A and B are shown apart, each in its own frame.
Chain A
Amino acid sequence: MDDTRWARARAQTQRFLPVMALAVVAVLAAACETNLPQSTTVIEGSHNATLWVPYRMVFILAAIVFVAVMALTVIFSITYRERPGRTARQFHGNTRLEIVWTLIPIIIVTLISVPTVNAIVAEAQPIAANALRVDAIGHQWWFEFVYLDEKVTTANELHIPEGREVAFNLKSVDVIHSFWVPQLAGKTDMVPGHVNDIKFTALRARPEPYLGQCAEFCGTSHANMRFRVFVHTEADFAAWLKSAAANGANPASALEKQGQEIFMRSACIGCHTVQGSAAAGKVGPDLTHVGSRTTIGSGILVNTPETLEKWIANSADVKPGSKMPPMAKSDGGALSKEEITAVAAYLSGLK
C-alpha cells in the first residue's frame, strides 16, 4: 500500500472511529445510566454484583471488537473501491495472519472465561446460616411465596430484609416459569418436578419496590405474570412478618361484614385461603392480607376496591386466560353487582 493511501485510510479512521466509539459508549451509557425499574445494569443485589464483573468485561471487549471490525469494513470499503487505473492484487492468504487472528479471539474468550468461572463458583457457595428461606412457587400466572421457618404465605409481593441472604427454593405447580428480579438477581427457571435454587442479598432497603417478571414463556398471560419485591430494614421486616403471620382481619363495617358472609358461602373459598376462617383453598393466591398489597392480578392493577370489583367480576377481562372464573352474574357467575362490591370491600379490609 503506498503512502498516500495509508494517509487517506488514516484520515478516514480518524473521522470514523470516534463516531463508532461514541455509538457503543452511548448504548452502554444509556443502559447503565438509566434507572429504569427492570434495568439489568442497576446493581441492588449481591447476585447482580457478582455477575457484573463478567458482564462489564464482555461489554468492554465487545465494544472493542465491534469498533475494530466495523472500522476495518468501512475503511476497506472506501480505500479499495473500484476506480480507474486500480487493479486488485492477487494473493491467496497469509499463514502468519491466520495464526494471529486465530489467537485474537482465543485471547478474548480467555479474558471472558476467568471472571465467568469466578462468578459461577461464587454462585455455588453454600447457603448462609442466617439466611431467610423462602419457597417461590410459579403458577399460571402468579407467584406464591412461602416463608418456610415463619410459616407465612403470600402472593406476588415478596418482602425481604436488607443485608441478609434470602435463599429461594424455586418450584412450579404447572408449566415452566422463571424467577427474575433484574435489579437484584439474574433469572432461574421454576421447573415442575425439579427444585431449583437461587440466593441473593438485597443491598439496601428502599421505599419503592423492585420489579420482577416471569421470564420463561408460560402461556396466555405470560406477559401479565409480574411481581414486586419490597426490601425493608431488619426492624421493618420483623414488623411486616409479624403482621403477615396474623389471621385475617375482622370486618370493620357492615358492608365488609356482608362481603365476608358472601365470600364464605361462595366459590371463593374453594381456591383461596384466609387464615383463621373457613376459607382454606389452595389453588389461588392466599388472601389473608390481600388488602395490604399494593397491586392485584400479579402486579397488573393497582389495588383499590374498584379494581378488586373489576377483577372479581371477570378477571379474564383484565388478564387474558385467567384461571379464576367470572363471578359477575352478567358474565355467567353467581354474584350481583352489589354483592361484588361487598366482597371487594371485605378483601380491601384484609390488611
Chain B
Amino acid sequence: MATAAGTLAHHAESGVWSWLTTVDHKRIGVLYGITAFSFFIWGGVQALLIRTQLAVPNGEVIPATLYNQLFTMHALTMIFLAVMPLGASFSNFLTPLMIGARDVAFPRLNALSFWVFAGGAVILTSSFFFEAPGAGWFNYVPLAGRTYSPGQGIDFYVIGLTVLGLSSLMAALNFAVTIMNMRAPGMTMMRLPVFIWMVLIISFLLILALPPLTVALIELLFDRNYGTNFFNPAEGGDPILWQHLFWIFGHPEVYVLILPAMGIVSEVLPVFSRKPLFGYSAIVFAGMAIAFLGWAVWSHHMFTTGMGAVPRTIFAANTMLIAVPTGVKIFNWLGTMYGGSLRFNTAMSFSVAFIALFTIGGISGVMHASPPVDTQQQDTYFIIAHLHYVLVGGAVTGIFSGIFYWFPKMTGRLLDERLGMTQFWLWFIGVNMTFFPMHYLGLVGMPRRIYTYDNDLGWGFWNMFETVGAFVIAASVLLFVINFFRTMQQEPTASDNPWDAPTLEWATSSPPPEHDFDVIPVVRARDPLWYNRDHNIQAEQPTGEHIHLPPPSYYPLLLAVGVSVLAVGPISHIAFTALGAVIAVYGIWGWALEPTE
C-alpha cells in the first residue's frame, strides 16, 4: 500500500529546513544518494575529458598539468565522493528497515556524518577554483611534498580526505552499534540479510583503516607546512613509509567499495531467481574472510619498490588466498541462479552482469598477485582495466542493480523498465568497450598516468575504441538520469512489496513512514516475509502505543560547519581554525543539552 501523499510528504515537515535538520535515516540516505550521484556525474565528466585527451596519439586537448589534476581528482571524486557515499546511501536508508528498527542507534551522529561528508566534499572539490591536487590519489611523497608540489593542491587533498575520513569513521561506528544492538526480535546474526552483513564488515574495516590514513595525512600536513621530515629522505625520513600507511588504508578501502555491491547482489539474485540465496553462511563467512585477509595484502601495491624476496613471497601468498573466498562467493551466486526461475528485469540484469564483470576484475587481480608478473603489469593499463572491472563493472554495476531494486521502497515509484533495460545494455557494452582493451594496452606496455603517447607505439586504435566506449557509458548514465526524473513526476503507486521479496524492508509501506514500522516485526526465519507467506502468518496489528522519534536538530549541521571551517585553517588563515573551533564547541554544547522530545 502506497502512502497517498507522495514520497516524503507524510513527514511532519517538508521544505529545505526540514532536510537541513533531519535526523531520519531514510532522508539522510536520500541526501547521501543525491549528493553522491551528482559527484558520480562530475567524476564521469572528468573521465570523459581524460578519455578525450587519450583518444589519439600526441593528443592536444588537455595540457599535462591539467591532465594530471584530472586523473587525480577523477579517482578521488569517484572513490570518496561517489562510490563510498552511494554505498552509504543504501546502508543509511536500508539498515534500520532491514533489521526491523526505527532508526540507527545515534540519529544525530548520522546527520553529522552526512554534513561532515558534505563539508569534506566541498573542500576537496573547491580545489578546482584554486589549485587541484595533481600527484595522483595515492599521492606519493616526495612528489606530494612541498618541494615538488609547491602549490596548495596537496593541502586541499590532505584536509579534504581528513574531513571525509572523520565522516566515514562516525558513520562506521554508528552502523556497527546499530547492527549489533537494534535488531528486531528473532533477527539473529545468522538471519541478517547479506547486505547488512556487508555493512557490518565495512564498518569494522573503516574503523580500523581510517586511523592509519589519518596518521599519514597529518604527517604529510606537518611535512608540508610545519617543517617536519617524516617522509624526507634527506633528513632521515622515508618516502616508503607513506606508501605503507596509505595502502594499509587503501587496500581495505577497496573492499569498502566492493562489499556493498556484493551485498546488493546477494539480495537481488534470490528475489528474481525466486529461490533462497545459495550458501548463505558461505557467502557471509567469505565476506569476513575477504575483509580479514584484506589486512595482510597491502604491500602488493608495492611489489616494485624494492621489497625483498621474503616479503614479496608472503604478500603474494596472502593476496592469492583472497581468490578463495572471492571464488566461493561467485560460485554461490551462480548456485543461486541454478534451478531458479529467473526474471530478467533491470535490477536482475545488473546483478547478473555484476557476476560476469566482477569475475573479470577478480581474475586479473590474481594475475598480478604474482610479483614477477606484477613487475610487468604494475602501473600499466592492465591495472586500470583490473580496477575498473572491480569498481565500475563490480561496485557501480551492483549499485545500479540496487537502485532499480529499492527505488520503489525509497520513493514509492518503479523506474521505467524499458529505459532501464536500454540503459543496462548500453552500460554493459560501454563498460566492456572501455575497459576490456585496457588489458591489451597494458600488456603491450602502455603505462598509466600518461597524458600523451607516441604514434609508433601502436596504442592508437584501442585508445580511440575505449574513448568511444566511455561515451557509450555516458549515454547509459544519461538514460538513467532521464528515467529518474520521468519516474519522479509520476504518482507513487508502488505496492509494499512489488517484487515479492523476503526481507523486512518490504513489510512496511513504500515509501516507509517516518517511524519505519507501525509494529516492530518478529523474525522467524532467514527470509522472514517468505516464511510468513508460506506459513500464513499475518503481520502484527498496531497497538496504538506512542512511538518515540528523535526530533529534528540543527546542531549536527552547525557542528559540521564548525569542523569544516576549522579544517580549512591550514590552507587559508589560522583565524578560520579559531572561528571553526568556536562554532564547533557551540555545536557540541547545544547538542549535549538539546532536549530529546
B218 within 8 A of A: no
Residues of chain A with a CB closer than 8 A to B355's CB: 69, 73
Query: Complex Cα distance A83/B147, Å?
Result: 66
Chain A, range 18-68, C-beta contacts under 8 Å to B: 27, 30-31, 34, 36-41, 48, 50-51, 54-55, 58-59, 62, 65-66
B397 within 8 A of A: no
Residues of chain A with a CB closer than 8 A to B359's CB: 65-66, 69-70, 73
Closest residue of A by beta carbon distance from B148:
A175
Query: Complex Cα distance A72/B140, Å?
Result: 42
A194 touches B306 (CB 8 A): yes
Chain B, range 449-493, C-beta contacts under 8 Å to A: 449-454, 456-459
B140 touches A176 (CB 8 A): yes
Residues of chain A with a CB closer than 8 A to B147's CB: 174
Q: How far is the CB of B80 from chain A (nearest CB, A)?
A: 19
A127 within 8 A of B: no
B331 touches A101 (CB 8 A): yes
Query: Complex Cα distance A58/B382, Å?
Result: 14
A178 within 8 A of B: yes
A14 within 8 A of B: no
Q: How far is the CB of B290 from chain A (nearest CB, A)?
A: 12
A222 touches B376 (CB 8 A): no
B185 within 8 A of A: no
- Return the CB mask of B422-452 against A: 1 if under 8 Å, else 0: 0000000000000000011011111111111
Residues of chain B with a CB closer than 8 A to A54's CB: 370, 372-373
B338 touches A113 (CB 8 A): no
Binds B, one of A92-100, A150-158, A255-263, A273-281: A92-100
B320 touches A112 (CB 8 A): yes
A239 within 8 A of B: no
B445 touches A193 (CB 8 A): no
Count how many chain B residues have C-beta atoms less than 8 Å from C-beta atoms of the other chain.
96
> Which DSSP category, helix, strand, loop or mixed, fits chain B's interface?
helix
B282 touches A98 (CB 8 A): yes
A40 touches B376 (CB 8 A): yes
A69 touches B443 (CB 8 A): no
Query: Complex Cα distance A178/B332, Å?
Result: 41
B337 within 8 A of A: yes
Query: Complex Cα distance A121/B309, Å?
Result: 7
Q: How far is the CB of A273 from chain B (nearest CB, A)?
A: 23
Closest residue of A by beta carbon distance from B273:
A88
Query: Complex Cα distance A20/B457, Å?
Result: 28
A82 within 8 A of B: yes
Query: Complex Cα distance A80/B270, Å?
Result: 13
Chain A, range 98-136, C-beta contacts under 8 Å to B: 98, 101-102, 104-106, 108-109, 112-113, 115-117, 119-121, 123-124
A39 touches B443 (CB 8 A): yes
Chain A, range 140-192, C-beta contacts under 8 Å to B: 140, 170, 174-176, 178, 180, 182, 185-189, 191-192
Residues of chain A with a CB closer than 8 A to B453's CB: 223
Residues of chain B with a CB closer than 8 A to A121's CB: 309
B550 within 8 A of A: no
Given known pairs A175-B143, A215-B379, the reply for A192 and B373 (CB within 8 Å) is no
A221 within 8 A of B: yes
Closest residue of B by beta carbon distance from A66:
B363
B135 touches A113 (CB 8 A): no
B64 within 8 A of A: yes
Given known pairs A113-B316, A188-B306, A321-B64, the reply for A194 and B372 (CB within 8 Å) is no
Q: Can you show 26 pairs from A to B with CB atoms below 8 A apart?
A: A36-B459, A37-B456, A40-B442, A58-B367, A66-B360, A70-B359, A73-B355, A82-B342, A88-B274, A91-B278, A97-B279, A98-B282, A109-B320, A112-B320, A117-B313, A119-B370, A119-B371, A120-B371, A174-B148, A176-B140, A187-B375, A188-B375, A193-B233, A193-B234, A214-B447, A219-B135
Interface residues of A (CB under 8 A from B): 1, 27, 30-31, 34, 36-41, 48, 50-51, 54-55, 58-59, 62, 65-66, 69-70, 72-73, 76-77, 80-83, 86-94, 97-98, 101-102, 104-106, 108-109, 112-113, 115-117, 119-121, 123-124, 140, 170, 174-176, 178, 180, 182, 185-189, 191-194, 196-197, 211, 213-224, 300, 320-321
Interface residues of B (CB under 8 A from A): 63-65, 68, 135-136, 140, 142-143, 147-148, 233-234, 237-240, 273-282, 304-306, 308-309, 312-313, 316-317, 320-321, 323-324, 326-328, 330-332, 334-335, 337-344, 352, 355-356, 359-360, 363-364, 366-367, 369-380, 439-440, 442-454, 456-459
Extra 18 A-B pairs, beta carbons < 8 Å, given A82-B344, A104-B327: A38-B445, A38-B457, A40-B444, A51-B375, A77-B344, A88-B339, A89-B339, A90-B275, A93-B282, A93-B335, A119-B370, A175-B143, A186-B376, A191-B305, A211-B445, A213-B445, A218-B143, A320-B65
